Amino acid sequence: MIVPRRLELPWRDPALLAQRLAAHYGAEGLIWLDGDGTGLGRHATLAAAPLAQRCCRGLPGSAGALDPFQALRQLEPGHWCGWLSYEAAAWVEPAAHWKAHTMACLWLARHDPLLRFDLIERRLWLEGTDPDRNDELAQLVEAEGPGPEPGQGDALPLEHWRWHSTSEQFAAGVQRIRAWIAGGDLFQANLTACCEQELPAAASALELYLRLRQASPAPFAGLLIGAGGARGEAVLSASPERFLQVSATGQVETRPIKGTRPRHSDPERDAAAAAELVCSPKDRAENVMIVDLLRNDLGRVCVPGSVQVPQLVGLESYAQVHHLTSVVCGQLRPALSWVDLLQACWPGGSITGAPKLRACQRLSALEPVARGPYCGSLLRINWDGSFDSNILIRSLLLQGRRLRAHAGCGIVADSDPHAEAEEMGWKLHPLLRALS
């Protein structure tokens, strides 16, 4: 375990320092693990100029493809951060239905030093092991005056997004899933849709993320700008969902989200929407089904009897939507690592369905494009070996000039096809409007 030096610095806003770091070191390799200033989103982490990187591409059997889970097992100690794509599941359960994505399946970067923020108490620390690099970053942080003026970039008109599935096609996909459920093939499946826009010039991922976080703050948000083998690729996330957290002593937590309603500016309508969600038998059943799936996943690698559900179907409210969230905990077996847990649970049950592997197969037949990092995870391995990750929902994928956005809905036996298509809009349109 590495123990970095920790130095408290004068408070600076994370957005200001993100711009300073990008101007000083270059944006490639910048990581920003963001929060919304609430209990779950109290802390943030920011770093640039990575010292090492790992990148894996392709599916099993393709030329030059590398197993991302093997790469994770071979990481040297340090602070690592990056993304793991949904299709990494092909290395867990090889099958013909997995689609190849052009973005990296795994990209990770090791940073030293880095900046830590307490967004509630407005405190800032530098953490690092090299005195010279620490001093350089401290001077950059402590410099007086504003940071570089961020360019606003071009607005991205809503009408310029090109949809890979229309609302009618999405509703037809919901109907097909309902038929599979009725036939006993599935219990639930999380169907997604995708739209994309070709930007007029090479876009600044940082500028886009500054707009996104202002409109849709979230506790497990973040920005990852690839470098090296993932140059020109970036993930921008406003995710409210934790996937897996593992402490240095092996305590495990996952926080699956199932059930969504839009927020309203009218307090009475907003409260009514929240109450309707809490009382919805369909949404509760959807959430409980995924809790059972995750209890089973955790049970494969946790100490027998340690898997518990301290919160079942609780209401959580964010800037744009209300959600139902459950919490599942356990204790990792002493001989196993967070990589074993990640592999046992991959991909996340809340964005696949049940039974998981059959749901993935059926969804691949309905979804016209690969998901890539969307529905994968933003990963962070800390100095002490602890691990945290989100589910990359409410997220945008940038590759060169192509910006892609996805959204999805959990489909169960009594899902209404047109209501599910409408729910997809609740989730996706706030992201698109933030950039317009």
Q: Which residues are catalytic?
A: 241, 258
Buried b (16+ CB within 10 A) or exposed e, 302-330: beeebbeeeeebeebebebbbbbbbbbbb
Give the pair of three-digit tokens for residue 272.
């009514």
**What are phi and psi for residue 426, nearest 5 degrees?**
-55, -40
Instruction: Determine the 3-state secondary structure of 282 from DSSP.
Output: helix
Distances (CA, A) of 13 to 36, 111, 124, 162: 13, 20, 9, 35
Residue 188's CB is within 10 A of a number of other CB atoms, namely: 25
Distances (CA, A) of 411 to 43, 99, 212, 284, 296: 34, 21, 27, 12, 20
Instruction: Determine the 3-state secondary structure of 319 from DSSP.
Output: coil
Candidates 272, 264, 277, 263; CA nearest to 317 is 263
- Cα–Cα distance for residue pair 67/60, rounded to 1 Å: 8
Q: Show the CA angle centred on residue 333, arms to residues 1 and 82, nearest 5°.
A: 50
Distances (CA, A) of 156 to 113, 160, 200, 202, 235: 35, 7, 9, 13, 17
